[in-house]
Structure 1
């Protein structure tokens, strides 16, 4: 067990004791014979209850953290290694630059793995012609790039880094020139096509192009413009037993990741139940302060290693090596009619299901032509109707967060997973660099989490009887995470000391603590709240699930603000208003509290509240700066500040009226108590009577 895990586990009894004491205090205050607690008091108590339950589930991550080391040199010879299909998905060429997508494709083709057992598929849900043209350019450039990588033994094989490689030979200068020409052609194709076609993510006819007339050094490329159907198409083309799934901007930083994954998949001790190997998501564009908490440190430093000691980490969307068989479910059924009801009416695909471990790369033009016709049928938007695709097989569609839900169901079926976190990042992607993209992304994630929580697949109901208790608690924590907005709105308080302990024990800085606290507060009142609301509305049929790709395009001013560590408030009013409103409320509370302490002298009653408001203001000073001091393009828009001020005045007026009503009710109770006390002895008389009636000493 690591030092950080030991510190966290050592203090769990202390935290638990504090919670018991808190509940005892709150319950005793409610149950004692006195005037009933006010509504604000009950809201605070409910908030503390919710935070305590979330804290309790969070402890499951710290019970058994593990770390793993691989030894790729112990793998079998190359000819004995199984095939791998790489799936790269894109959806909108306006938000996901084609050049970045092609760099990811080229880095995947250059993996340190037998080229005759590696195939790369690119799926474009948007159906943009620039993707097809870009793939053709990438295929041509790969003829020079792949032999170059192997000849010089490059440790990072994304062609984007070629600009940073010192030039020691004419070959390197030559490949740089070819890459510049490749960039120019891809960017030009994007400009020409971008002005002519509108991207549509709706149903469209699939276009499948196979490019595998390559030299021995090249891996085959299969370019498929279709919505999330690569799994079926690859099944009849190459049918590799293992699948690597990558986001379009998540390039392969370490070419040995495939061999590292095979160390687990080919281990006879864990392989039978193993479904996938999850690598952490790491990003190449994080600034030194990480002002948007883009590195997801708590997930990949604390939570996933903790789950790895249980049943394994959750499926995280990208950077995982999946066993194809795990996505097909139970393959023991041999009845053809049943198979067609499950997998659809493609005879070629049904035959491929029972030949997963027979790598079937296309060898000649005739077979390629026939398989492309079958692939068109498999890729049609109507193929999966009245089948089990998306319901029990493949990546499951019950939630907009299909990776989380698919991993959850696999774990419920008894499958396991492994977290592999090597010292050199296996994959590097692009993190969000502005507030709007971060909140939109967070809203989508929390909508998907709460959508599952409100369904029949709720981890507390569906998972408890199918997974170990601690694994269920880990899923339960994420299931309740969207509800963080409730205690933050009602209480404006969280377990700050525990977070400080986590940050320091993992070697992070105080600046990291402040950034993570700020982003958590922002997400709690926006992404968590809107995600929960979307999930509730979907349950009542008032909203449909939607997927908005995260914008990967950043202008120069946006990048400059991010590198300087300044928040970019170019976001929607709907996202900014709750944040600014809470900041203004805390400013008013702080000023009013300080005045009350010095004028009325109520230090004992007010100091804690004033300190909490001061802490919130200190953590969110960049927001105050954006409201009052900054003049650049990324400042908080003045209309948003004015709207938030109006909402603050309304909330303060409403609170004032509520307190006045409660004071009037309390006054009536006091008057009644005073009138009844006229006929009863005073406290001094009561004591005197008890003394007189007691036995003498």
Structure 2
């Protein structure tokens, strides 16, 4: 019965396809007329040209580049699909799930505060996935002792945070995000009392990390490493001998700091991920990896299970390279003039769901096309 129902469905909206392809076709016609108009200028006699050649060529080159960028961006609009997953249909036996290595990268505790990074670590540890199959690795490219201290403090707090999330089915598994949301006090007295205790422990955890950051030293002095040139350091944070006393099983938590030398240019995230792959290949060797940035967390604790709905499908699994979730940004200014929210992908370009934008774009395109026609045949008058 486990394989009788599909784990995911793919919905293709034919009406959206018609709208997007029609718009792309009309847009291509307008671009073709524009290119024809620009190219016809070069065929004119130099004495009859009213515009200098160099500015005209620069504008033409810019229009060609922008046209190419627009053409490449039509790929994901050509056949828009929407997918629905059913993680509740996955096998109930945890032994049938593959292992997952979670990779988190950080570089500078001054630019990326340790408390923020540890919130990401805690949210990864709290994912709704078999804990014995979940391994969390943090790459500290800065080699800062405060990051190692924060990992140890985060693991101590996770002993209370993970059982709390599992017991009450908490959906917002990032502590900072959870305690920043104002919930209505309509829960049970037992839940509210335990929530207050967890919040106090979280505040104490933050205070210890901040205090260690101010002092500029780690709790374990033997593990201190320099933030400049430093050797490699790999430390498994999980304390041995405490597995039997844990309320819930804890995922493996590993701190990794690769070797740094000023004479070598190895200050990029790709290199840090390569080191994590080599380290995890020796420790856990999981077939799947989940890559998170240091200020990122999963809005849904079942994210890993949702991704497995695709990887468990024998029909499409051999052709899948990765499963990507859309991002929701929360730490940007209200005047986001550089579009750091990437709205062009997640919001603005959804023509099929925003008919107002489509009508506006159609009017704009109509008048633009009229202008292109007028300019194209102006030199024949």
CA distance in 1 between counterparts of 2:326 and 2:350 reads: 18
Partner residue of 2:221? none
The aligned residue for residue 265 of structure 2 is: none
Taking the aligned partners of 1:198 and 1:225, their CA distance within structure 2 comes to: 9
RMSD: 2.8
SS in 2 for 1:87: strand
Which structure 2 residue ranges, 5 or more long, are not aligned? 1-11, 219-223, 259-271, 361-370, 372-381
Of 207, 214, 220, 1:184 maps to 207
Q: Residues 41 and 192 from structure 1, CA distance in 2 versus in 1: closer, same or farther, beyond 3 angstroms?
A: same
Whether contact under 8 Å (2:307, 2:323) holds in the other structure is yes
Residue 5 of structure 1: CA displacement? 5.2
Q: Give the drift of 1:209.
A: 1.2
Matched, 1:9 2:55: no
Q: CA deviation at 1:133?
A: 0.4
- Name the CA distance, whole Å, in 1 between partners of 2:203 and 2:214: 16
Question: By how many angstroms is 1:270 displaced?
Answer: 1.1
Q: 1:142 to 1:53 in 2, by over 3 A?
A: closer
Q: Which residue of 2 aligns with 1:23?
A: 35
Summarize the alignment of residues 95-244 of structure 1 with structure 2, pairs less than 5 Å apart. 95-160=111-176, 161-164=178-181, 165=183, 166=185, 168=189, 169-193=192-216, 200=227, 204-212=230-238, 213=240, 214=243, 215=246, 216-226=248-258, 227-228=272-273, 229-244=275-290
Write the mapping of 1:34-113 to structure 2, written as runs, cut at 5 A: 35=47, 37=49, 38-39=52-53, 40-76=55-91, 77-113=93-129
Q: What's 1:438 paired with? A: none
Give CA deviations for 1:629-651 in whole Å, capped at 9, x if unaligned. xxxxxxxxxxxxxxxxxxxxxxx
Can you list the C-alpha shifts for 1:590-628, whole angstroms capped at 9, x where unaligned? xxxxxxxxxxxxxxxxxx9xxxxxxxxxxxxxxxxxxxx
| TM-superposed deviation, 1:207 | 1.5
| Partner SS state of residue 232, structure 1 | helix
Q: Secondary structure at the match of 1:208?
A: strand
Deviation string, structure 1 residues 374-419 (Cα, Å, up to 9, x no partner) = xxxxxxxxxxxxxxxxxxxxxxxxxxxxxxxxxxxxxxxxxxxxxx
Name structure 1 gaps, 5 residues minimum.
Answer: 303-501, 514-607, 609-697
Rounded to whole Å, the distance in 1 between the matches of 2:59 and 2:79 is 33
User: Given that residues 503 and 509 in structure 1 are in contact (C-alpha distance below 8 angstroms), is that contact kept between their aligned partners in structure 2?
Assistant: no
Partner of 1:275: 321
User: What is the Cα deviation at residue 22 of structure 1?
Assistant: 2.2
**Aligned pair in 2 of structure 1 residues 163, 130: CA closer, same or farther (>3 Å)?**
same
- The CA distance in 1 between the partners of 2:353 and 2:226, in whole Å, is 44
Write the mapping of 1:630-649 to structure 2, written as runs, cut at 5 A: none
Take 1:163 and 1:289, find their aligned partners in 2: how far apart are those partners?
A: 23
1:507 is aligned to: 354
> Cα offset for 1:178?
0.7
1:135-534 matches, cutoff 5 A = 135-160=151-176, 161-164=178-181, 165=183, 166=185, 168=189, 169-193=192-216, 200=227, 204-212=230-238, 213=240, 214=243, 215=246, 216-226=248-258, 227-228=272-273, 229-286=275-332, 290-301=336-347, 502=349, 507=354
* TM superposition shift of 1:301: 4.8
Q: CA deviation at 1:507?
A: 3.5
SS in structure 2 at match of 1:217: coil
Kindly provide the CA deviation profile for residues 50-72 of structure 1, in whole angstroms up to 9, marking residues without a partner as x: 33333333333321221211110
Larger radius of gyration: 1
Q: How many correspondences in the alignment? A: 311
Give 1 or 2: higher helix fraction: 1
Q: Please, what TM-score do these two structures have when normalized by structure 2? A: 0.74
**What residue number does 1:444 align with?**
none
Give, in whole Å, the separation in 2 of the partners of 1:282 and 1:194.
Answer: 34
Render the CA deviation track for 1:276-315: whole Å, top value 9, x for unaligned. 111122212345664442211223457xxxxxxxxxxxxx
TM superposition shift of 1:94? 0.3
Question: Residues 289, 5 of structure 1: CA spacing in aligned structure 2 closer, same or farther, 3 A cutoff?
Answer: farther
SS in 2 for 1:222: strand
Partner of 1:517: none
C-alpha separation in 2, matches of 1:34 and 1:249? 58
Q: Which secondary structure state, in structure 2, belongs to the residue aligned with residue 93 of structure 1?
A: coil
- Could you report, residue by residue, the CA deviation over 1:412-465 in whole angstroms, capped at 9, with x for unpaired residues? xxxxxxxxxxxxxxxxxxxxxxxxxxxxxxxxxxxxxxxxxxxxxxxxxxxxxx
> In 2, Cα distance between the equivalents of 1:126 and 1:508?
48
1:129–1:18 Cα change, 3 Å: same
Deviation at 1:206, TM superposition (A): 1.2
